[in-house]
Structures are given as structure tokens and as C-alpha cells.
Structure 1
């Protein structure tokens, strides 16, 4: 996979470059600011851009805004955003459109190399990855919703895994239940939340996350 990295912290930028290169990915550019990121994406048309949300000059949401620009101008470029903290509005902005090839991870997740590399592969191949902590906080914010109260504990577990972008097979493995049971839980969740089932997993995640942010 051809990758562009945008991260202002030199140690993390170099570490990511080395890690991805060791796994046979090609890092075509590694930059420290959003302007350089946009220039390199336009020049290389990579498969994936890994972008720090907070970059110079203000260290607020420059990376997020650059990600939106990339998605508008180069929709085939997947984007994996990294953040030091969970900011619900960032998740809302990120998930406001087509979320195929979109990811949002906390930087702490990079320390788990296997999980991080799995996220890179999933986002780069058009999947969706949402950090479990982001999902937990979104669920917590929506806890008072009467429809969420109707979910069983197991359905909440399935909903959380589903919102992270996991497939039914992955959910079954993580919860130690059959895939058939997962399908039944998913159908029940959609029914209780008043959401129409969609064959596209990514649209399903978008619908669930959007609902949780109401």
C-alpha cells in the first residue's frame, strides 16, 4: 500500500514510517503540516493518508480540515485520522459523509502494533475503523435515549462492536458467540432503533453512529 503520513511530532512520524515500511508498505511522503500533506497527496495519489488531527499552525483541527479536503478532491484516497484525545465533534465531522475508507484512532492505539496495522489494512482497503473509546463515549452521550434503553446488554455489546466497523464474523469471534447469533442481534438492534438494515456494512456503521449522536 502507498501511504502518506502527516504528523508534526518527529519521533512518531519516523516511528510510523519505519513500522509501515517494515510491513512492506511504501511510505511515499512523511510531512509535518497540512499544507505539505495536501501537496504530497496531490502529487502521489496514495492509497492511504495517515493524518494527525492537530497540526501547525494552531494545533486545533488542521488535520481534520485537510482530511475533508482530501476526501473532496481525491475520494479514492483513504484517510486514517489520529488524535491524542477523544473529541466527539471530530467524530461527528468525520462521519458526516461517506465513511468508506475512513478511520479515527486515538494515538495510544498505535502502541498496539497488531491492532494498528490491522486498522491500516482495513481502512486502506475501503473499510471503516472507529476507536473503541470513541464509540464508548458516543454511547455514553446517548445513554438516555429511550430506544437505547430497550437494548439488552448483549445487544449493546454488539452495537458497540458494529460501530467500531467490525464485521459479523469479527463480532462473533470477539464475543465468543455464533455468527448466526450476531445476525439475530443485529436485526433486533435495527428494529429497536428504528433503522433500516443495509447490505453495506459501512452504511450500517454510519447510520448507527449518526443515531448515537442525536
Structure 2
């Protein structure tokens, strides 16, 4: 893969670069701020960008804002965002922007297999969300009475399946992780859609975005300047 790293912490950026190149990837460069990130995206058109949420000068939301802007300029650009903490607003915005997105806590980078799995899924147009991000998204919907009433319909197993769906896993992967049959997972997914009043469509990342939208992530529409895919 051709990867662009957007990280102002030189030590972390160098560590990521060394690891990714050792595994046969091509690191196109390291951008340390939002402006150079957007410039590099347009010049190099990477297969995926790994972006820190907080970049200079204010170290607030420059990274995710730049990621959203880069995806406007280069539609479909896969972006994996890294953050020190779970920041719900930023996670929701990124998720709502479409497929080919990920949001991981930086601790996850230390778990090399998990990080690489997420990176490959995002680069392939999939979705990868940190389990802690999923947990907080499920817990912070703006209309808690509706959230509680609908989530209370789910069994404990269905909640487990929902959390794994939200992380971007397909039915086969969920079955492996829960040590159940794929048929059982398919049944649970159907029950989840039914109980959460969602369309009964089971189509990979589209279903992830639908579930997370229902649980709190606002959907983008054509009026937002995007095509509203997902």
C-alpha cells in the first residue's frame, strides 16, 4: 500500500513509517499539519492516510477537519484517524462521511495486528472503529430515552454482535470471534435490524453506517456537498 502519515509527533511518525515499510508498504511521506496533509493528498493520491486528530496550531480538531476536507477534494480517500482519547463529535463526523474510514485510539497502534487489520480494511473501503469508540457512541446518543428503549430490546448476544458490526467486522469474522456459526450471526443481525427499526439490508459497511447513524452519527446528504453514500 501507498500510505501517507499525518502526525506532528516525530517519534510516533518515525515508528509508524519504519513498521509499515518493514512490512512492504510504501510510506509516501509524513505531514505535520493540516495544510501539508491536503497538499500531499492531492499530489500523491495515497491508498490510505493515517491521520492524528490533533494537529498544529491549536491541537484540537485540525486533523479530522483536514481529513473531511481531503475527502471532499479526493472522494473516497481512505482515512484512518488516530486519537489519544475518544472524542465523540469527531468520530461521528468521520463515520457520517462514508465508507473507507476508521477511528482508533493510539493505544491500538501498539497492538500491531489490530492496527494492520484496521488499516487494510479502511484501505479496501471498509470501516474500522475502536471498541471504545463504539462503546461511547452507543452510550451518548442525543435522545437517550429512544436509545435506551430500542437497545433494551436486544439480547446480550445481539449487543455483542452489534458492537462487532460497528467495528467493521463481517458475519464470518463475527462468528469466529464469538465462536458461533455464521448462520447464527446472520440470524442475530436480522434481529438487530428488526428491533432497532432499521432497514433489513445486510450489506457489509453499509449496515455498519446505518447502525451507527441510528445510534447517534448524523448522516451526510447531498445537501452537505456529499453524495450521502453509506
TM-score when normalising by structure 2: 0.90
Equivalent position of 2:166 in the other structure = 163
Residue 96 of structure 1 deviates from its aligned partner by 1.7
Residue 141 of structure 1 deviates from its aligned partner by 2.6
Asked whether the equivalents of residues 158 and 192 of structure 2 are also in contact (C-alpha less than 8 Å), the reply is: yes
* 1:172-203 CA distance string (max 9 Å, x none): 01111100000000000000000012243111
Q: Which runs of 5+ in 1 are unaligned?
A: none
* 1:98-156 CA distance string (max 9 Å, x none): 2x210000000000011101111111111110110000112223575201001000000
TM-score when normalising by structure 1: 0.96
In structure 2, the residue corresponding to 1:95 is in which secondary structure?
helix
Within a 5 Å distance, the mapping from 1:1-214 to structure 2 comes to 1-98=1-98, 100-142=99-141, 144=145, 145-213=148-216
* Distance in 2 of aligned mates of 1:96 and 1:136: 17
**Total equivalences in the alignment:** 213
* 1:64-105 CA distance string (max 9 Å, x none): 11101111111132100000000111111112232x210000
* Distance in 2 of aligned mates of 1:139 and 1:199: 20
Q: RMSD value over aligned CA atoms?
A: 1.2
Asked whether the equivalents of residues 68 and 97 of structure 2 are also in contact (C-alpha less than 8 Å), the reply is: no
Q: Which runs of 5+ in 2 are unaligned?
A: 218-230
Q: Using the TM superposition, name which of 8-17 and 67-76 deviates more.
A: 67-76
* Distance in 1 of aligned mates of 2:14 and 2:200: 42
